[in-house]
Chains A and B, each alone.
Chain A
């Protein structure tokens, strides 16, 4: 009971002040036949900190740790080196144990960091404004579609074949309930796919379309120029939404804003936030200034205090649930504050120069790895241009190959069979991510495990 400071003497004194005979008496409004008199059966009782650590370490030991083996997984979550400074800062109690900054006079630390976060995200995405974060990339993607619906008053969204299938799945779930129509497509293992996809999307936009959603780099790793699509969208009164699941790429490739995107959303996990088995992550959300009042999520803005000093506050909250209730732009309340802080600390360490170096290092290592792997008999590269993630076509089904490599202690990418089960045409696809953490020994280990598994 080390987290409970009251002593029995305290409890007795307090009951006296309250005028209640026992603590039980304070639960008088609970139906007495349902009030539990004993600890719930079948659950263990309290234990020491040492015992907790022992139990949970045993479970942790039952996982293969990415950093312990040659590791090549991506597809929406990337393993990058996080400087020790990042974790030190986010563990400061003043950040870790503070609440949403509703009392700005004593929350300027959180607020200023959020303002810096918004500025960094907007700059990276090439947009005018960004919000103070969303839950993750997938939910941010759905919120963007909802925002496009509110702006255009149309309900048809066209989703690119290159969009992460989990993101498509989230949107499909939500659209069932909101009545939006989603047009989706599956990716193909065709090196010409990006050009064909661009042509398909340009042709598909019509007067009923609220938005087109593309991802760059795509789920297979393709990078493409969406400028022509932006023009096609705008000609029909639709919005272009660009999804970025690997923000490190923005240190090397043209920003979605430069390509004409109206809303850019992303998964910020790559910067400052570890893999964490899928969460918590941090959703990024940016758009044009003219759409800011239709934006979901919290926003931090600059103002002055009674002495004229610059300060920051949460602003435009008349969009939000705690003010607007059923008329809110979204029901979102919590965001991903501490992950946004981690992103901001990592980004201030990197700066523009560091981000560019990091991105080019990722790209160069990925190019070297791809060149090495296509030397293996029967293995083909299906993504002629890519950033730090590319797709190979194997001469056989990739999913068992990934399992066989894992048994040998190599985490050799994500099979498209895992992401698109039952789709024959994709079964031989293997998506590999290479980052600054990947060594040439890792690549050799992968090549040899892959050769063994294919033999």
Chain B
């Protein structure tokens, strides 16, 4: 085994690092290289001790696993060090502002983690007799009531496991409602600024997807939408506030027009953080909307999940939601309504979307956050989120092109384009330049309605000082970009890795470690 398994060799030198001697290890002080488990562990090492197994007959039916498995172990201290060293190669909200547009990277309160780990929530089996899990059902029910009241909707499906799973839930409820009245429709309309999950979900549910253009001011083109509203349309999927950071002013009128042709309005609730406590989607005529608990309600993103995507439903759609759900009896007892108990009371429920009953560990965290803020605090969340985004927009609109700056205040996020960059410098180069400034970049190249999009969502948990420093950093990088500073093409130079060759990764995918004979020494 080589001492430095990163593949880097001192003789390769380090670009843009002139005058610095290479190190023997490849490490640079606190920037530590870390090999894979498979390069430092072995198949005989273990970090867990077990008691002796009782003796008895083997009942494996002759199917014993005799061949080597290929799983490498580390001792406990090595495990802690391995993953601690890896963790230090990650950017995170705990380290700084994380301005990813449409992702709502806000502070994750640690009380949420403490609550989720109470044995009464964490160490409970989903199939325990219902009498023994009344507290767990109460959590689900309490959170459901909050979500219904905050959105002004009629019901909520708690089981979807993430935003895209929630979209699926909403569209399946819509399809079930249409089929129940014998009305088979073929088309779902999606604005061009929509998240990619929207058309993917509609296609997954068997619908043809048609795109609705945006107006010059960054909102859904209501006239174009109206012209396309015919009886073959099952639903319109709208994101509000939209991914240009704007409130869809015509939404109520859009909903009325959609309902007039017998179709439904699905709202992508990814951006609910901008309006929570300020306006209720139910009042805007929405029929179904998923709520990303990992965005608005502060459950951690965890490097890409787990999320949770409960879907609030209008009175028209609620009977067509999924199973199971928690019901409350007059005597205060909770009951899980499943396939067997849905019976005559819920004949239209479209069925089960996942085993058991949803992301309980996310429910406890979200409820802890919601109770902390209360109804007053949640409205303040939206206000400060919108204030912070407008502050960023107005502080930077003279620096980068803000295509919709004249369309009114933005909501929770500010959108910029690559117009005016010099010398072949792109949005991607600005993003990578921000990494060297110590920031995670904003969302780039999304939404697709403007060229070289940069979408910045600061969230309400940033202080003014934090925003000022970020604005200063982005200004500095943008000015370099406008001057055509070619050194941005090499950015980042201070990160644990420089730009990675994604083309090579896709052309010849290496998706797992293999103990290749030629690699052995």
B420: Cβ under 8 A from any A Cβ: no
Q: Are A109 and B90 in contact (CB under 8 A)?
A: yes
A292-B509, A334-B304, A349-B76 known; A170-B175 Cβ under 8 A = no
B384: Cβ under 8 A from any A Cβ: yes
A47-B374, A350-B71 known; A337-B202 Cβ under 8 A = no
Q: When each residue 87-125 of chain A gets 1 if its CB lies under 8 Å from chain B and 0 otherwise, what string results?
A: 111111111111111011111111011011011101110
Q: Which residues, 64 to 122 on B, are CB-close (under 8 Å) to A?
A: 64-74, 76, 79-80, 82-84, 86-95, 98, 100, 103, 105-109, 111, 113-122
Interface window among B52-60, B257-265, B311-319: B52-60
A368: Cβ under 8 A from any B Cβ: yes
- The residue that A327 contacts in the complex, of B34, B139, B203, with Cβ under 8 A, is B203
Q: Are A325 and B94 in contact (CB under 8 A)?
A: no
Q: Which residues, 18 to 73 on B, are CB-close (under 8 Å) to A?
A: 26, 34, 36-38, 41-48, 50-51, 53-73
Interface size class of A (residues with CB under 8 A): 35 or more
Give Cα A27–Cα B146 distance, bound, in whole angstroms: 23
Q: Are A225 and B63 in contact (CB under 8 A)?
A: yes
- How many chain-B residues does the 8 Å CB contact rule pick out? 214
Q: Are A106 and B386 in contact (CB under 8 A)?
A: no
- The residue that A253 contacts in the complex, of B26, B36, B63, B277, with Cβ under 8 A, is B63
Q: Are A26 and B64 in contact (CB under 8 A)?
A: no
CB-defined contacts of B111 to chain A, threshold 8 Å: 49, 52-53
How many whole Å from B289's CB to the nearest CB in chain A?
15
Give Cα A62–Cα B118 distance, bound, in whole angstroms: 12
CB-defined contacts of B106 to chain A, threshold 8 Å: 3
Most buried by A among B71, B364, B490: B71
Q: Are A30 and B278 in contact (CB under 8 A)?
A: yes
CB-defined contacts of B41 to chain A, threshold 8 Å: 348, 351
- The residue that B361 contacts in the complex, of A60, A108, A279, A334, with Cβ under 8 A, is A279
Q: When each residue 296-312 of chain B gets 1 if its CB lies under 8 Å from chain A and 0 otherwise, what string results?
A: 00101111111110000
B228: Cβ under 8 A from any A Cβ: no
Give Cα A15–Cα B136 distance, bound, in whole angstroms: 43
How many whole Å from A392's CB to the nearest CB in chain B?
14
- The residue that B206 contacts in the complex, of A67, A92, A133, A178, with Cβ under 8 A, is A178
Q: Are A28 and B497 in contact (CB under 8 A)?
A: no
A233: Cβ under 8 A from any B Cβ: no
CB-defined contacts of B116 to chain A, threshold 8 Å: 276
Closest to B448 in A: A325
Give Cα A176–Cα B186 distance, bound, in whole angstroms: 15
CB-defined contacts of B124 to chain A, threshold 8 Å: 63-66, 275-277
- The residue that B464 contacts in the complex, of A13, A106, A305, with Cβ under 8 A, is A13
B409: Cβ under 8 A from any A Cβ: yes
- The residue that A56 contacts in the complex, of B36, B54, B364, B393, with Cβ under 8 A, is B364
Q: Which residues, 273 to 301 on A, are CB-close (under 8 Å) to B?
A: 274-282, 292, 298-301
Q: Which residues, 119 to 169 on B, are CB-close (under 8 Å) to A?
A: 119-129, 131-136, 138-139, 142, 146, 149-150, 161-165, 167-168
CB-defined contacts of B446 to chain A, threshold 8 Å: 322
Most buried by B among A4, A39, A345, A350: A4
CB-defined contacts of A280 to chain B, threshold 8 Å: 161, 305-306, 308, 359-362
CB-defined contacts of A198 to chain B, threshold 8 Å: none
Most buried by B among A20, A92, A96, A164: A96
Q: Are A97 and B121 in contact (CB under 8 A)?
A: no
CB-defined contacts of B134 to chain A, threshold 8 Å: 62-63
How many whole Å from B56's CB to the nearest CB in chain A?
4
Interface window among A135-143, A151-159, A204-212, A446-454: A135-143
Q: Are B15 and A307 in contact (CB under 8 A)?
A: yes
A4-B460, A330-B200 known; A351-B496 Cβ under 8 A = no
CB-defined contacts of B277 to chain A, threshold 8 Å: 36, 39-40
Question: Can you identify 29 A-B contacts, CB atoms within 8 angstroms?
Answer: A3-B107, A23-B383, A27-B409, A28-B408, A28-B409, A46-B377, A56-B139, A89-B80, A98-B302, A100-B303, A105-B499, A106-B435, A108-B86, A108-B90, A110-B90, A166-B354, A166-B356, A223-B61, A253-B65, A292-B509, A301-B506, A302-B511, A304-B7, A305-B499, A334-B307, A337-B301, A341-B302, A352-B69, A353-B73
Closest 6 CB pairs of A and B: A351-B73, A60-B120, A62-B135, A278-B356, A338-B302, A93-B94
